[in-house]
Every structure is written in C-alpha cells, then in structure tokens.
Amino acid sequence: MRIPLIISVLLGTVMVTGAAHGQQILIRGAKVHTADDRGTLERTDVLVRDGRIAAMGTSLAAPDGARIVDAGNRPLTPGLFAGLTGLGVTEVSAVQSTGDAALGLGAPAWRQRWRPEFDITRAFNPRSTLLPVARIEGLTWTVLEPGSGDSIVDGQGAAVTLDGRFEAVLQGSHSLFIDLGAGASGRSGGSRAAQYMLLEQAADEVRGTAPAGDKALLLPAGRKVLQTYLAGGRVVFSVQRAADIRQALAFAQRHGLQAVISGGDEAWVVADELSRAKAAVILDPLSNLPGGFDILGARLDNAALLHKAGVRIAFSTGDAHIARKIRQLAGNAVAHGLPWDAALAAVTSSPAEIFGLGGSRGRIAVGQAADLVLWSGDPLDVTSAADAVWIAGRPVRMQSRQTILRDRYFERLQQELIGTP
C-alpha cells in the first residue's frame, strides 16, 4: 500500500531526528572545503562523533562500529545557510492562515505601538513540509526573519536548525529586525526622515528620557526587549539606498548596536564606511535592475566590491520557497568577480559569524557541529546535487514532497509507456 504523501514527508522529518546521537561516521577521502583560512583539503578524512567533528586528517583509523562513507574525493562542505527566510513559519504564501511571519494588529499606522517583543521563533514549526525541500538541497539552518507588520520595527528572529527538532533555536543568534527606506515610509508618517525621529524617541523611552504615557511608542515589555539591544545587541536593518544605509549606520553607532544591513543593493557605494563600521551585509547578488528609486544603483558585482573593501557578506533569496537557490546566488557572484572561497563562505561561515554562531557552525573544523554536505560536483554549480547531508551528525533522508511526487508520477508514466498494469 502506498503511504499517503503528507505522511511520507513527515516520516522524512522523523528520520532526521531519530538516528542515534552517539553514532560515529567516518567520511573517507573527501575534497574538504573548510570555509575558513585553511581553504580546500584534498582527499581528507572527517570523523564525526556525538554530532560533532571529532578529527580530520589522512588515513584516520575507523572506530569500532563506525559507518564508513567513501567520498571518492567529492566535495564536502559545511551545511549551507538558507538565508533570511520564513522556513517553518510560512507554509503557503497565498493562504493567510499558514503564515505567522508578520504582526498586524489592525490599528492605523499612526496609532500603532511598536512591538519589539514580537518573537517569530515561537511560531516555528519544525515539521513544515518546506523543511525537507531545503534539507535535501544541502541547507541545514536558516535565520527566521519577521515580515513587515504595522510598524518599522518588525520584531525578533533567530537562527534555527532545520533537522526537525522542536528545540531548534540556536542560542545567541536572536536579532531585532527594523525596516527602513521607501517601503516602510507608509508606516512612519509618510517620510523616511520620520523613521529616525521615531527610532530616537523609542531609544529615549527605553532610557527614561521620554514620557511613557498614552503616546509612547513602546509598552513595558517592548521597552525591556529594546533595552537589551541598545546594550550592544544585533539589529538587522532592511535598507537599500546608500544614503539610508549611512543613516542606519549612524543610528547604530550612536546607540552601540551591532549593525547588519539586509538588502543593501547600493551598499557598494558606501563599502568603505561599512567596512570601518564593521557592519555586515546580507544581499541578493542577482539583484541588478533598478526596480525602484531606492535601488537605482543595483549591480551584479555588489558582492565582489563589498568583499574587496573588507565587508563581511552573506547571501539570501529572502523567500522560503526558493531558499534552495542560494547556491545559484553564490555561483553568479563568482561569475561577477567574487572569489570562489568567499562565495562559499557567504553561504556557510560568514552568516554563522554574523549571527554569533562562528564557534559552533559554518566551518569544517574539529569541535564544530557536524552539519555536512557531500556533493556530486562543484557545490556552486547548479548542475551538481547533494549526494548526502548530515545535520549534527545525523543523516538526512533525501526525500521531500517534491521528490515523492516526481517518483509517483514517473512510475505511472513508465507503466503507461511500456504497457504494464
């Protein structure tokens, strides 16, 4: 009897989390792309124990009972970053009841209180049917990004692992998301100038130098949360125009924030300022058309120019349903001048560093979580595929809703073509 489709997908989720945590795996003779200063190591063995990388080298002795994987010098990379997405908080974009990314309380924008206490991670569903689609493409973690709500402060998000566990949030990765520029002017009185006026008012409320009465922007819970970010927390500013990026950096500097720029189509214009501010940029390197007045300066070598200036970069499609195309973004950045190793880092180690996970994820190194992908060929070439994926040392079942549908209808087509019952 054929297992119903939705049950099959959920069984795939169980398979990821059900493997014994103490299992040892020895990957022999891989072309290891470490995503750090060591670069690429030819024909190298990687030993995984208790979910972490225990040893690396040549001709490692296989522990008793270890599963041996012959890599045949195929590329082995860290698990890929899926970008800033709604994976696990959005199922079907056109069905409102399946989306939990944005806070909309329904009052007119000018009467809205800001709600930085809104935390999107509380809506994360590790059993979403979108997660297996991402996993079998080598994506092992993402950062949940709250959607645009009623104010320019969208709320909080954090990094989550995609292995299907309920306790998926990766500690130390929480960030506050603020939406700036022309797209947010309707939520700030019709002018982007008001965005900074309101941000300064919110900072004053937190510090007790502005009244906290009926006209306050923040509720007590919101003031408490914003206070933690004003004490050196990570704030992701969604902003495109070079002039607005400079304003966001100035606000971050005044208040001691760790600034991350999301979007940044014109970031190359102010690359030196971003570098001096030690601000990272999360961008889509395929963005090159002036689709609005905030992105008149968009260009395909944005990533290469930022990297040359010493700016830490990461890539994101911004869409949970096409997160698996992250490799295409990286490959196109290489085609437009970004070094190959830097492009790989932009989907592995760099986002891990940006979100405070550099000590545990994003590289192939002893002590790191064993989030690993074995590829059929160049991982930044879309003609290559993931042959095997491990998350925290557990093998991923290489099956998703899409592959089940493919196999089901391919089997039916075969039967029709050869005339079998």
Tell me, what's the pLDDT at 7?
43
Kindly compute the dihedral angle of the four CA atoms of residues 289, 238, 119, 107, in this order, to the nearest 10 degrees: -90
Tell me the average pLDDT of the chain: 91
- Which structural domain, as residue segments, surrounds residue 324? 80-184+226-361
Tell me, yes or no, whether 133 lies in a domain: yes
The CATH number assigned to the domain holding 271 equals: 3.20.20.140
Name the residue type at position 38. R
Tell me, yes or no, whether 52 lies in a domain: no
On the question of pLDDT at 279 being above 50, the answer is yes
**Average pLDDT of the residues in 63-85:** 97
Distance CA(418)–CA(415), nearest Å, equals 5
On the question of pLDDT at 139 being above 50, the answer is yes
On the question of pLDDT at 323 being above 80, the answer is yes
Q: Are 302 and 264 in contact (CB under 8 A)?
A: yes
Tell me, what's the pLDDT at 149?
84
Lowest model confidence (mean pLDDT) among 49-58, 102-111, 241-250, 345-354: 102-111
Q: Which residue is associated with the tokens 């395929």?
A: 286
Tell me, what's the pLDDT at 16?
57
Task: Quick: pLDDT tens for 341-381.
Answer: 999 999 999 999 999 999 999 999 999 999 999 999 999 99
Tell me, yes or no, whether 284 lies in a domain: yes
On the question of pLDDT at 282 being above 50, the answer is yes
Tell me, yes or no, whether 67 lies in a domain: no
Tell me, yes or no, whether 65 lies in a domain: no
Count, residues in the chain: 421
Task: Quick: pLDDT tens for 75-134.
Answer: 999 999 999 999 999 999 888 888 888 888 765 554 568 999 999 999 999 999 999 999
Q: Which of 148, 140, 171 is nearest to 158 (CA)?
A: 171
Token reading at 332: 């196109």
Tell me, yes or no, whether 122 lies in a domain: yes
Tell me, what's the pLDDT at 21?
55
Token reading at 315: 């890539």
CA 115 to mean position of chain CA atoms: 23
On the question of pLDDT at 12 being above 70, the answer is no
Tell me, what's the pLDDT at 107?
57
At 17, is the pLDDT very low, low, confident or very high (cuts 50, 70, 90)? very low
Secondary structure, 3-state, 23-49: CEEEEEEEEEECCCCCCEEEEEEEEEE
At 22, is the pLDDT very low, low, confident or very high (cuts 50, 70, 90)? low
Tell me, yes or no, whether 62 lies in a domain: no
Domain tally, the chain: 1
Tell me, yes or no, whether 34 lies in a domain: no
